[in-house]
Amino acid sequence: MSAAGEPRYLFLGVGGMGMAPLACWMSSAGYSITGHDACLQEEVRQHLEASGVTLRDFVFPEQLGEFTTVVYSSAVRAGHPVLDAARSLGLDCLRRGEMLARMAEGLRLVAVIGSHGKTTTTGMIAYALQRQGIEANYILGGLFADTSLAPSRYSKSPWLVAEIDESDGTIENFSPEHTLVLNLDWDHADYYGKAAQLETAFTDLSLRTRQTVLLPDGMDLKGLDEAKVVRYASSPEQDFNTNNARAAFAALACVSNNLPEDVLEDFPGIARRQELLLDREGLTVIEDYAHHPTEIGALMQNLRERASSRQLLVVFQPHRFSRTRQFKEGFAATLSEADACYLLPVYAAHEPLVEGGELADMVDVFKDSEPVVLESGLAGLKQVNQAAMSRPALLAFIGAGDIEDFAAASVALLREPDSVDGACLGFLEERLSPEAKIKLNEPLANKTTMRIGGPARIYAEPASFADLQQLLKAAQLFALDYFCIGRGSNLLVADEGFDGLVIRFSAPAWRRVETLGAGRIWAAAGGRLKEICGFAAKAGLAGFEFLEGIPGAVGGALRMNAGAMGSWMFDVVERVQFIDANGHYQDWPREKFHFGYRRVEEISRGIALGAVLKSPESEEESSIRSRIDSYSTTRKESQPRGPSAGCIFKNPEGSYAGKLIDEHGLKGMRVGAAEVSAVHGNFIVNQGGATAGDVIELVRRIRAKVKAESGYDLEPEVLLVGRSWPEVLKEGADV
């Protein structure tokens, strides 16, 4: 914890490959670092936590008073509510490169720049220094392939080795001691409209370099003082890693002399750079981060040599619409060297659609052989794997987006070709946190308030938002339907269970409730409504008392706008955090939602994650507790105590379901062990051993009786999981 007055940093997008190493380094250096990322990978999380970074699944504008500086990645979109609020509050808001430049001030920076190979070369330099016991700081822009090696290292040494990203223009903030230039190819057309602009950025950095500029043979940057230029051997005839190693040795000479020639002999490599995913008789699978035609061309040459007489299959995911438009002809030319080329949809990286940069535009420029466009799900996985298994092959997944997930899913399915479920679990094994739970064929009856139902085909309890994101990615890749539960009220699980993935918000992170100030609290999706009611009372916040009588969790209450005692959930909602129907994280004010009876449209099609709740007024805790006790007494007197799902039917317009059931003498009606409550007619109680079939048949009989004698159609309110009410009610009508 930083002392009062010391800077406190919030990293937005802390899981990014540039952000995470910087956050780790700053935390190790003693700075107070808190990080948030909606798509945090498990391996990155482990590095961040090992460095002392505090991680939060959710961050809100109301919490910005805790920080002095916000550092954000290029993946944070314009209009991000926290970033906008930070700016309006006058907080220092820095891009990743700007923050790194500040940290580099006063240090002897060895800057590694280039269009290709920066992370690998920086990793080589860092690895060699560590292996030789030479004290130096380093900050990578990626992860070592060896997960035991940290992506950054803090030292009291004056030396700092860091790769400098040119993509967003922050390169202009650096004035290195030494600069290592690897290569120069036009890229990032969204920022550098012309190749000359990128060359100028490299030249200007070299001009600001205080001592040595290391250039590869054959490269010239205009205006440099030749007295500070040192050349190192580099040849287009050599593979990238040979040239990277030569560059690394040139930079190492600036820090230390007489390094042994074999210092990089066992260099473990960088993750996602020609990473071997599977190697068995007849099939080798690799993944590589290449996303520029020059990189892909060099990679294809290497892959062709490795493939030898085997077929070379390539799956490519273009990265950004602007880059696809800029390089589509180059991509097509290099990828055509494969025996078969498969294309995944363009990874947008939060970039808006650019005319001429869509996948169809790239397909159109292939000349000799047309690529195969893949679905980014199970059908696409099976299509690629079938080709890879047809005869000996080298299968390569190439791209800088999320193709690593598709590649990992492909390998999982290759290992478990006869079991999609087994492949799914294999895919998730290294992606979920150790605290997460995942099982096959898990019974659901004991996870619902009605104590009825069959098993979930796959059952999971995510321990964090990052775990949830991985589960949803797996569901998309392996074509699994999913359903989310909290406490399990307002649910009836079919006897057959649920043929898909059931996600339960029961871990501590999903039951968090915290004060945001100014009469506001935040509650996560798995928080029990009764506990939130008590939390609010203790804080002197009135208006939440009605929640005491709702036997559910926040997520379900938001989904259906649950109510009791004349009040409704959205009476106290200010904002809701949820994943929408397209899989995107949203933070919406209550006014944006559309309400139906016991249904909030947008949340019903997505996943509620939590909500900011606001009290209409403050009050003494004793007064609030008095109302809670009164509501509790009323509830106990008017509702059954046995296992139930809550109200089974919606109230029809002009009447009440419970009243109609009572008037027609249906209290006590029973099918098997399912019985209409004698206390409240709109409850069906499990008297011990009831099945979903019992409840469904009882619902049919109640509906038929009420319809015949009053004309009212009673519609089920309880969600039927694993079947659908129209389906099962039609079955009854057809009998």
- Beta carbons within 10 angstroms of residue 383's beta carbon: 15
Cβ distance 523 to 610 under 8 Å? yes
State how far the Cα of 557 lies from the Cα of 543, in Å rounded to an integer. Answer: 16
Q: Are strands 69-72 and 92-95 parallel, antiparallel or unpaired?
A: parallel
Nearest to 479 by CA among 548, 366, 376: 376
Nearest to 409 by CA among 390, 384, 391: 384
Structure tokens at 631: 């509501």
Sign of the Cα pseudo-torsion (14, 19, 24, 30, in order): negative
State how far the Cα of 191 lies from the Cα of 166, in Å rounded to an integer. Answer: 10
Cβ distance 462 to 503 under 8 Å? yes
Distance between start and end Cα atoms, the chain: 68
Nearest to 641 by CA among 594, 678, 616: 678
State how far the Cα of 380 lies from the Cα of 342, in Å rounded to an integer. Answer: 9
- List, in order, residues 6 or more apart from 383 with CB less than 8 Å away: 342, 372, 374
Pick the catalytic residue from 254, 424, 533, 647.
647
Tokens 């139902």 belong to residue: 453
Cβ distance 325 to 407 under 8 Å? no
Q: Are strands 482-485 and 372-373 parallel, antiparallel or unpaired?
A: unpaired
Cα–Cα distance list, 535 to 262, 554, 608, 634, 672 (Å): 62, 14, 20, 21, 40
| 598 a catalytic residue | yes
- Beta carbons within 10 angstroms of residue 234's beta carbon: 20
| 337 a catalytic residue | no
Pick the catalytic residue from 598, 602, 675, 703.
598
Q: Output DSSP code: residue 269.
A: -
Structure tokens at 427: 């895919």
State how far the Cα of 48 lies from the Cα of 52, in Å rounded to an integer. Answer: 7
Tokens 């038929």 belong to residue: 704
- Which residues lie across from 395 on neighbouring strands? 285, 313
Cα–Cα distance list, 577 to 36, 102, 525, 574 (Å): 15, 34, 9, 10
Pick the catalytic residue from 177, 287, 442, 717.
717
Helix, strand, coil fractions of the chain, as percent rounded to 5? 35, 25, 40
Cβ distance 287 to 411 under 8 Å? no
What is the Cα gyration radius of the chain? 30
Q: Are strands 455-461 and 372-373 parallel, antiparallel or unpaired?
A: unpaired
| 404 a catalytic residue | no
Cα–Cα distance list, 167 to 10, 96, 186, 451 (Å): 22, 11, 11, 55
Please identify every residue annotated as catalytic. Answer: 598, 647, 717
